[in-house]
Amino acid sequence: MSRMLAAHIHCGQAMTLVKAHPVLTAEGQANEDEDDGQLMYRCACGFTFDLPRS
């Protein structure tokens, strides 16, 4: 499991970086200039995982 997360591989294929989680403003809007330090990777099969930005 740790090798899969470190290599961003699932189902034998490289996972795609989908987005960084945005920081929401007080009004609930996404602030495109900031993110919460989390990256989201998605496999073609639909599996996703969040990874802290290092």
% of the chain beyond a pLDDT of 90: 7
3-35 confidence digits (pLDDT tens): 766 788 888 889 998 876 666 777 777 666 655
pLDDT score recorded for residue 2? 75
Alpha helices in the chain (DSSP H): 2-7
| pLDDT, averaged across the chain | 77
Q: Tell me if 52 sits within 8 A of 20, measured CB to CB.
A: no
Give the pTM. Answer: 0.59
Backbone angles phi, psi at 6, to 5 degrees: -70, -35
